[in-house]
Amino acid sequence: MAGDLVINVNGKSHAVTAAPDTPLLYVLRNELGLHGPKYGCGLEQCGACMVLVGSEARNSCKLTVGEVGQAPVTTLEGLIENGELHPVQRAFIEEQAAQCGYCTGGMIIRATALLLQNPEPSDQKIRAALDGNLCRCGSHLRILRAVKRASELMWGDAQP
């Protein structure tokens, strides 16, 4: 029944008025006013709607709010801590890894999930991880450099 759901987004609990079968993306954008995840294809094929559910990157366009359960959801906005950009966000800026920027939020989320699982990914691993995120502007090499830089910013010489 609508109105009975509570989800944890960006470290805060939110009562959700949407029905459990509503796509998480709609709840994030329409109810919570978050604009990091974007509507792209609606078919889990472009990655523009990417969020972290726990530490896993997920497309929020098909994932229903009911499926999220109590797992913490982190959007692009939620990566910022104490007013400081996340290392992946900083790296994308420093490497100028965006042109139009529509794919950038999803790329950052997917790269964050990758680096949490693999602090020093090879170029091949980065490409494989980002394969489901489409970029039409051609920023692929800058995005690759940004993920490498983010690895350095996040972990330096110390591995988790």
The Cα–Cα gap between 121 and 132 comes to 17
Q: Which residues pair with 88 in a beta bridge?
A: none
Tokens 């890894």 sit on residue: 97
Q: What is the CA radius of gyration of the chain?
A: 15
Of 51, 74, 71, 68, residue with least CA distance to 133: 51
Region of 135 please: left (phi>0), alpha (psi -120 to 50) or beta: beta
> CATH 1.10.150.120 in the chain, residues?
87-155
Confidence at residue 1, expressed as pLDDT on a 0 to 100 scale: 47
Signed CA dihedral, 110, 112, 115, 116: sign only: negative
> CATH 3.10.20.30 in the chain, residues?
5-78
Name the pLDDT band for 136 (thresholds 50, 70, 90): confident
| Order of strands across the sheet that contains 50-53 | 12-16, 5-9, 73-74, 50-53, 56-59
Question: Is 87-155 a domain of CATH 3.30.750.200?
Answer: no
- Report the chain's mean pLDDT, rounded to a whole number: 94
pTM above 0.85, yes or no: yes
Run of H or E residues at 9: strand 5-9
Tens of pLDDT, residues 7-63 = 999 999 999 999 999 999 999 999 999 999 999 999 999 999 999 999 999 999 999
Q: Considering the chain, what percentage of its residues have pLDDT values greater than 90? A: 88
Question: Is 5-78 a domain of CATH 2.60.40.10?
Answer: no
